[in-house]
Structure 1
Amino acid sequence: MTVEKIEGSTATSAPAEVLLIFLKLGLTCFGGPVAHIGYFRDEFVVRRKWIDEHAYADLVGLCQFLPGPASSQVGFSIGLMRAGYLGALAAWTGFTLPSAAILVLFAYGAGALGGPVGAGLLHGLKLTAVAIVAQAVWGMARNLCPDRERASIAVAAALIILFSTASIAQIGAIVLGGLAGWWLCRSQAPAPSGHVEILVSRIVGLTTLGIFFVLLAGLPVLRSLSGSSGVALFDAFYRSGALVFGGGHVVLPLLREAFVAPGWLSDDAFLAGYGAAQAVPGPLFTFAAYLGTVVSAEPHGLAGAALGLVGIFLPGILVLLGALPFWDSFRKRTDAQAVMRGVNAAVVGVLGAALYDPLWTTTVYRGKDFGIVLVGFVLLVAWRAPPLVVVAFSAAAGAVMALV
C-alpha cells in the first residue's frame, strides 16, 4: 500500500471537514466539468494547499483519460487522499447531493426560475464558469507551460480539440501530448513531484478493475435472463457512465439512446431535464437523478433517482480506484515524468479549448456578458476573491442586465 503525504494535509482529517468543503463546492460550482476543475484548483491548490500544482495537474490528466465524470473523479481522489475512503465518500456525497436534490425537485414539478430576472440570473451563473475557467487556464499555463516545448504542446492539444468534432479527440490530445512530452521534455530537470497519499492497495485496485469489467459484461446478460426493469435501468445507467470519455456532456447522447429509444420517457421530458441540469451547480452526471425520478419503468421516484446516481457514477469510481495504486509509482519514473509534462501541457490546451467552446460560444453573446466575465476574472486573479463572491456578483449582474 502506498501512503505518501500531501504537504499540509493529514490522513486523519475528519471526513466531516471534507464533506462540508465539497458541499459548499456542490452548491457553487456552476459550468460543467471544466469549470469544476478550476474551482477545485482554487480551493485545494491555491487556498488550502492540500495538493500542489504538479500533482493536481497529474491527477486531472489521469481523470481526463479515464472513462467517467472527470471532475467528480478528481474530487473523489482529493477526498480519498485527505481522509481515506470515508473522505472519498464524503467528497462525492457533498459534491453530488445539491444538484441531485434540485433535479429531483424539478422532476416533481418544481418549476425553473421564470421571467427575465430568473433567466438573467441563470445566465449570470453561467458567466461565472467562464471567469473560473479563464483563471484556471491562466494559472495552470504559467506553472505547467513555462517553456516553448510545453507551450507548443498545449497549443497543439487545443487545436486538436477545436478542429475535431469527435468525442475521442480529448483522449487523443492527451495521448499525443504524452508522446510529445516523452520526445521533447526528457532532457529537462526532474519536475517537482507532489507527495500524494494513495490509500488504495494494488489488490484493491485490481479487484475494483475486475468488478468494473464483470458488471460491464454481466449486467446485459442478467438483464436478458431476469427481465427485471430495475436491472435494465441499472444497466442503462452503468453502461452510459462506463462508456463516457471526454466530459459530462458526452453522456447525454448515450442517455438519450438508452432512455428515450425504449420509450421510458418522452424526448420533451428528456430535453427539459437536460436544460435544468445545465442550470444547476455540481456534476452534469446528476442528470441521472432526474431520469431515475421520471422514468416510466420501475423503480422510479426517489428510489429511481438513487439507482440512477449509483449506476452512472459507479463505473468511473471503480476504474479510478483501479488506476490510482499504479499511477503514483508510474509518474515518479524519469521517462514517466517527461510523459506527464506533456500530458499536463495537453491538459492546459484542452482546458483552453473548452474555455472557448463550449463555454464562451454558448455563454458570452455581447459586450455586457464579456464585461461581467472580465470583472469576475479580475476579482479572482487580482483580488483573490473567493469563488462564492464571484458567483454572487455574476448572478446579480446577470439579473440586473436582464432588466436593463
Structure 2
Amino acid sequence: MVKRMALYLDYGATSPVRKEVLDSMLPFFSEIFGNPGSIHDMGRQAHSHIQAGREQIAHAIGASSPREILFTSSGTEANNLAIIGTALYHQKRGNHIITSSIEHPSVLEACRYLEQLGFEVTYLPVDRFGQISVLDVEQAITPKTILISVMAANNEVGTIQPIKQITQLIKDKEILFHTDAVQFFGKLPCDVEELGVDLLSIGSHKIYGPKGIGSLYVRKGVRLTPLLHGGGQERNWRPSTLNTPAIVGFGKAASLIAGELAAEKTRQEEIRDYFWRGLQQLGDVVLNGHPTDRLPNNINVSFERLEGQAILLELNRKQIFVSSGSACSAGKHLPSHVLMAMGNDLDNAYQSLRFTIGKDTTKENIDYVLSELKKITHYLKSII
C-alpha cells in the first residue's frame, strides 16, 4: 500500500516547533531548571535567560523597553488581561468599551463578562470583507469610553484592520487601544510604535514556538488590574512562576521569524495567490475576506452547495489537514460568527473552509491539494 503524504494546511491553528527553538529550550528542563525567582546562582541563571527572551520579543515588535513585555500563558490570557485588567483599573473614569463583532472568542467573551459587571460594550459591524469603518469607531466614542480593542487581522478570514488609522483618531483622547495581534505577528511587520497601540497580544505557537506561552505588550505608563493574585512576578500583574523553557523558546522563535519576515511574506503571498487561482478553476468557490488587505498565508473560501465540514473530512481521509474556522471554537459545529457578521447567510457560513499555509508549504503541495479537492468536490456534487 502506498502511504499518503500528510499535508498540513492549518498553520492558523498552530505550528510545529522549529528544531532551533526546541534545541534552545531543552537545557531548561533538566539542566538550568532553577526557579527564576530564586536568588541563588541556578535561579539567577534562569532569570537571565528569561530577560534575554524578553529582549528578543521586545525587539521583534519594536517595543522601546523589555520591561514593556509581560509574559502570559497564551494569547487568550493576554487578551483577557488587556481588556478586563484595563477596564477594572479605569472604571472610575468610564465604563464604555468599543470592539468589533468579529473578534476572537477570548476578546468577545471578556467583553461579555464585563457587561455582567455593568460595563457598556459597543460591538462594531464590519463590511462584507470583514473590515470595520474608522468612521464607525469615531461615532461610537463617548465621554465614558476607556478602551478600544480591535484585532490586527482576523483569525478566520485573514482580513487586516485599519489599526493605525484608529490609533491616530484617538491619539489626543484618554482612550487606550488594544489589539489582538496573535495572527498578525510573524506574518506582517508588527511594530508597536508604528501602529501606535498601548496594548498588544501575541502568542508563541503561531510562530513555530512552544504552546502555553504568550505575551502582552504594555506601553510604559499604562496600568492594569491583575486577574491573578499570588506572587509578585511580572510587576505583580501576572503572578506565577515563569515558564523558563517556553519563554526561551518563544524568544528564539520571535527572533528567527523577525529575521525572515520580509522574504517569507513575499513567498507566502505568491503561494496564497497561486492557490486562489487554482481554487477558482474548480468553479463555484467564493473568497471570504478582503481580496488584498489580508494575511499572506490565509485563504478562506466557501464551496457553493457543499458543506465545508464534509470537504474537511474527505481531505482528512487523504491526510490533508485544514480548518473550518477558529481552532478555539472547533467541535461546536456552529456557523462562523465572523462570516455571519460579514453578511453571509447560514449556507455560506457552513460551506466555508480555512486554508493557512506555513514556512514549509510549497507550490507542489498546493498542486496536490487542488487535485484532491477536484476529486472530492466532484464526488460530493454527484451525491447531492
TM-score range (shorter-chain normalised) is under 0.3
TM-score, with structure 1 as normaliser: 0.24
Higher helix share: 1
The structure with higher relative contact order (CA 8 Å, sep 6+) is 1
TM-score of the aligned structures, taking structure 2 as reference length: 0.25
More strand by share: 2
